[in-house]
């Protein structure tokens, strides 16, 4: 059995806590994976709850930790932040690096069923099972978990919470891809990772999952009204309709003038951290 101990890559003190990057060998992806963790000052004396952040297309673990400005409030609230990468690295599969919205940096947080992707692109299992188990084994954290994300990662956060009742105390998203079975990004990714059976895609679509969700965790979603991808790719109205039909609690906040960037995320991240802190106790 190989040693799964995370290897430290970098460490920076931040608001009295520590931001660290690690790599480890993943069984879910069959590759080395990198993740970032922010441990607030409280973690020096006690175990703290964790917010998992899933990033969007073309991102890595670094975007959120460097651009969102989340550490100040996380330190105040005593919450650890964990940001995984968005896809496996170093596999060099055919066509993996050809476009920004499939393959490298575009794992879509699904478990691929189509070759050759199914050998490595099991980001759902990695994010919901393997990484939390690793974090809870090696770091001073509790098993109280929350999840959030942006764009493709917002889609990821929603499906992780909806497909894993009891796994998370809370969920939120910024500009999520809410209805991937009906948008170009989702159709491209799902065809590649899951095949041509559109019925099978529904297992990875938040709008489909709310209809049968066993747990009705309140969804907090922020969406910029000046987002270039709003109508074609993100479709917050579809999520709103699905939640209304299912009686699923949703707070959808449309933010005038805000776009799809991390300037938008940084503007409202404190609200999301407080939302999660209330649920994490």
Indicate which residue of 26, 55, 104, 151 is catalytic.
151
Q: pLDDT tens for residues 215-226?
A: 999 999 999 999
Assess if residue 2 is contained within a domain.
no
Say if residues 209 and 159 touch (Cβ distance below 8 Å).
Answer: yes
Alpha carbon separation from 8 to 19, 23, 24, 37, 104 (Å, rounded)? 11, 7, 9, 11, 23
Catalytic residue, chosen from 55, 227, 272, 276, is 227
The string of pLDDT tens digits covering residues 243-256 is 999 999 999 999 99
Which residues, listed in sequence order, are joined to residue 146 by a DSSP beta bridge?
Answer: 51, 170
Count of domains observed in the chain: 1
Burial of 96 (0-12, 13-18, 19+ CB in 10 A): buried
Question: Does the annotation count 227 as an active-site position?
Answer: yes
Quick one: pLDDT at residue 1? 37
Domain span at residue 27 reads 7-280
Cα(183)–Cα(181) distance, rounded to whole angstroms?
6
Is 151 a known active-site residue?
yes
Q: What is the pLDDT of residue 3?
A: 65
What is the Cα–Cα distance from 234 to 237, expressed in whole angstroms? 9
| Contact (CB, 8 A) for 10 and 103 | no
Strand ranges in the chain using DSSP code E only, listed in sequence order: 7-14, 17-25, 32-39, 48-54, 80-84, 141-149, 170-174, 219-224, 250-255
pLDDT average per 10 residues of sequence, the chain (281 residues): 81 98 97 98 98 97 98 98 96 93 96 97 98 98 98 98 98 98 98 97 98 96 98 98 98 98 98 98 91
Q: Tell me if 211 is assigned to some domain.
A: yes
**Which CATH number covers residue 48?**
3.40.50.1820
Secondary structure class of 91 (helix, strand, coil) = coil
Q: Rounded to two decimals, what is the model's pTM? A: 0.97
Is residue 206 within 8 Å of residue 179, measured between CB atoms?
A: yes
Asked, for residue 1, whether it belongs to a domain, the answer is no
């Amino acid at each position: 059995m190989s040693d799964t101990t995370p290897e430290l890559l970098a460490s920076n003190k931040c608001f009295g806590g520590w931001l660290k990057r690690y790599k480890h060998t993943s069984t879910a992806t069959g590759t080395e994976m990198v993740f970032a963790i922010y441990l607030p000052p409280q973690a020096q004396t006690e175990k703290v709850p964790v917010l998992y952040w899933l990033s969007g297309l073309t991102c890595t673990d670094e975007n959120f930790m460097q651009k969102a400005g989340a550490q100040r409030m996380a330190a105040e609230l005593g919450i650890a932040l964990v940001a995984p990468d968005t896809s496996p690295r170093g596999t060099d599969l055919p066509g993996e690096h050809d476009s920004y919205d499939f393959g490298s940096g575009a794992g879509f947080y699904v478990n691929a069923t189509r070759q050759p992707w199914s050998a490595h692109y099991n980001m759902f299992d990695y994010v919901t099972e393997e990484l939390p188990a690793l974090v809870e084994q090696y770091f001073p954290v509790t098993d109280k978990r929350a999840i959030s994300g942006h764009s493709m990662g917002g889609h990821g956060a929603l499906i992780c919470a909806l497909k894993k009742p009891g796994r998370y105390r809370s969920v939120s998203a910024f500009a999520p891809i809410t209805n991937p079975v009906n948008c170009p990004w989702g159709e491209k990714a799902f065809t590649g990772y899951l095949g041509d059976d559109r019925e099978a895609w529904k297992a990875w679509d938040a709008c489909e999952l709310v209809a049968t969700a066993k747990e009705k965790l309140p969804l907090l979603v922020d969406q910029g009204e000046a987002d270039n991808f709003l109508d074609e790719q993100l479709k917050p109205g579809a999520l709103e309709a699905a939640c209304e039909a299912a009686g699923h609690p949703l707070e959808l906040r449309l933010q005038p003038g805000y776009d799809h960037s991390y300037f938008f995320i940084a503007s409202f991240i404190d609200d999301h951290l407080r939302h999660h802190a209330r649920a994490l106790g």
